[in-house]
């Protein structure tokens, strides 16, 4: 699954997050990108067997993972480049569509489903869904399989934003309305991702997350 050299490249990039260093290490970058492309194909091939949204996605593998260069508007630190990668099992647009993902970052790998970097329009659609059907989300979060796989429930990667005006203080969706993107995650040890057999465990994580994906379809 994840090659040891890919982990090493990401760790080195975190320590040398500048253009001159990356220019000198293009072969390692290209090898990592080929690894991500292969992972995307594998995730898609396995996940499409049980989820029609994956089967219908017409995956473009080279567009199915986040790129290293960070848009200045989304930059989370001083570095030019991301030192972690999300690989998506379903295609569509990662900034528009809620879907399955594998997050690869030395010491912080996890898998699940989410929409973590939505566009303005995608965030509006996500919030509208929460407002219109909070009971549906409650049902998902109450599912025993979901709770067992994702004990933290709904999570976000960004600091909370402003809650939309006009929402009742006791509205069931209120705890999630300040989230700028959200999803669920299950942590995975780096060592586990080095094994090809880990795909079976990742697919089980996706299965557990599938009710949340269907909720946001």
Beta carbons of 66 and 86 less than 8 angstroms apart: yes
Q: Are 91 and 57 in contact (CB under 8 A)?
A: yes
Q: Which residues of the chain have pLDDT under 70?
A: 57-59, 70-78, 91-93, 166, 168
Instruction: Please give the pLDDT value at position 57.
Output: 66
pLDDT at 75: 53
Three-state SS for 59? coil
Rounded distance between C-alpha atoms, residue 37 and residue 65, angstroms: 8
CA 15 to chain centre: 23
> Tens of pLDDT along 139-150?
999 999 999 999
Look at residues 71, 129, 70 and name the one whose alpha carbon lies nearest to residue 97: 129
23, HSE (Cβ side, Cα atoms, 13 Å) = 3
> What is the distance between the alpha carbons of residues 49 and 101, in angstroms, rounded to a whole number?
16
CA gap 158, 163 in Å, rounded: 14
**Residue 111 DSSP one-character state:** E
Contact 173, 154 (CB under 8 A): no
Please report the DSSP string for 196-210 in residue order: TTHHHHHHHHHHHHH
The predicted structure's pLDDT at residue 97: 85
Q: What distance in Å separates the CA atoms of residue 117 and residue 105, rounded to the nearest whole number?
A: 17
Q: What is the pLDDT of residue 60?
A: 74
């Amino acid at each position: 699954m994840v090659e040891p050299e890919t982990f090493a490249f990401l760790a080195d990039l975190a320590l040398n997050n500048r253009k001159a260093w990356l220019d000198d290490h293009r072969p390692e970058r290209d090898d990592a990108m080929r690894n991500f492309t292969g992972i995307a194909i594998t995730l898609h091939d396995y996940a499409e067997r049980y989820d029609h949204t994956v089967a219908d996605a017409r995956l473009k593998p080279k567009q199915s993972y986040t790129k290293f260069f960070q848009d200045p508007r989304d930059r989370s630190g001083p570095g030019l480049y991301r030192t972690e990668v999300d690989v998506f099992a379903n295609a569509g647009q990662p900034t528009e569509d809620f879907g399955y993902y594998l997050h690869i970052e030395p010491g912080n790998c996890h898998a699940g489903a989410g929409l973590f970097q939505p566009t303005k329009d995608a965030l509006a659609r996500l919030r509208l869904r929460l407002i219109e059907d909070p009971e549906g989300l409650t049902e998902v979060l109450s599912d025993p399989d979901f709770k067992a796989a994702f004990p933290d429930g709904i999570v976000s990667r960004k600091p909370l934003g402003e809650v939309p005006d006009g929402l009742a203080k006791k509205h069931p969706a209120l705890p999630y309305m300040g989230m700028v993107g959200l999803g669920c995650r299950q942590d995975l040890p780096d060592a586990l991702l080095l094994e090809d057999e880990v795909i079976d465990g990742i697919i089980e994580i996706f299965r557990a997350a599938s009710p949340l994906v269907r909720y946001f379809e």
